[in-house]
Copies of this chain bind each other. A is one copy, B any other.
Amino acid sequence: MSGTRPSKAKDGGSGRRAVVLLSGGLDSATVLAMARRDGFACHALSIDYGQRHRGELACAARIAEALGAVDHKVIRVDLRAIGGSALTDDIAVPHHASVSEIGSDIPITYVPARNLIFLSMALAHAEARGAFDIFIGVNAVDYSGYPDCRPEFIRAFECAASLATRAGVQGRPFAIHAPIISMSKAEIIAAGASLGVDYGLTTSCYDPPGAGLACGTCDACLLRRQGFVDAGVPDPTRYAVTPT
């Protein structure tokens, strides 16, 4: 159809390819919408790392389709063999009554070196496909205090990425895009809503009780809920316990 805007085509119209890390949550869905807006043909990549909340992988597939990714790949890496986190080990996910109870320490849901592993796999995927841009939905504002969500880590990875690869050595450096790193959760939701992201396709809960519900009391549910309230956007999530 000649009436279709080029930016809506899966190839992005610009000829530029990107790998977008897609967890199934709202942050990375928003980042995929931003990469599409910016004209990238997007290879969505999800990592099956043995996460407790692996229902997010099915969400990622639906988001990739809805937002016009070229393709969506799920790659397995067994981080349960390493453990050390409530998301990959037999450790209980913490629950709180409200967002104000979330502490400032790095929580037990921290997965050792997770974003470094994910970015490394995205880099391999990008190099094998001739893409030189990688998008990741890390956020250093309304987040859980994870060290690998900070700008200084992203810059250090970008440096290592170009030194680690054939493309980098041959003068084609990789750019790591973290477009929501300095945004509040409310700003992320407002931006995604304006780009047409259907947040009903996304999931954030670390400890889903089943039946398509979110628990409503883990850190991820509490931060998500507060973000929708602050953005003035209806929250499509069905919570077992509505967060306050």
Asked whether any CB of chain B lies closer than 8 Å to the CB of A90, the reply is: no
In the complex, whether A211 has a CB less than 8 A from a CB of chain B is: no
15 contacts between A and B (CB under 8 A): A73-B81, A76-B77, A76-B81, A77-B121, A82-B125, A82-B128, A84-B124, A106-B169, A112-B127, A116-B123, A147-B163, A148-B163, A148-B164, A153-B163, A156-B156
A84 and B128 form a contact (CB under 8 A): yes
A75 within 8 A of B: yes
| Inter-chain contacts of A168 with B (CB < 8 A) | 147
Interface size class of A (residues with CB under 8 A): 35 or more
In the complex, what residue of chain B is closest to A81 when comparing beta carbons?
B75
Chain A interface helix/strand/loop/mixed: helix
Q: Which residues of B contact A120 (CB under 8 A)?
A: 113, 116-117, 120
6 nearest CB pairs, A to B: A84-B128, A113-B124, A156-B160, A112-B127, A77-B77, A112-B124
Q: Are A153 and B147 closer than 8 Å at their CB atoms?
A: no
- Shortest distance between the CB of A125 and any CB in chain B (Å): 5
> Please, which residue of chain B has its CB at the minimum distance from the CB of A77?
B77
Would you give the shortest CB distance from A96 to chain B, in whole angstroms?
A: 20
Minimum CB–CB distance from A182 to chain B (whole Å) comes to 17
Candidates B112, B125, B161, B164; contact of A166 at CB < 8 Å: B112
A110 CB contacts on chain B under 8 angstroms: 166
Give the contacting residue for A113; candidates B83, B112, B127, B159; CB below 8 A. Answer: B127
* Residues in A136-194 with C-beta less than 8 Å from chain B: 147-148, 150, 152-153, 156-157, 159-161, 163-166, 168-169
Q: How far is the CA of A78 from the CA of B169 in the complex (A)?
A: 25
CA distance A147 to B123 in the complex (A): 14
A79 within 8 A of B: yes
Within the complex, the shortest CB–CB distance from A76 to chain B, in Å, comes to 5
Q: Chain B contacts of A148 at CB under 8 A?
A: 163-165
| A82-B128, A156-B160, A160-B153 as given contacts; A113 in contact with B106, CB under 8 Å | no
Partner of A163, one of B81, B124, B156: B156
Question: Counting CB contacts under 8 A, is A115 at the interface?
Answer: yes
A110 to chain B, nearest CB (A): 6
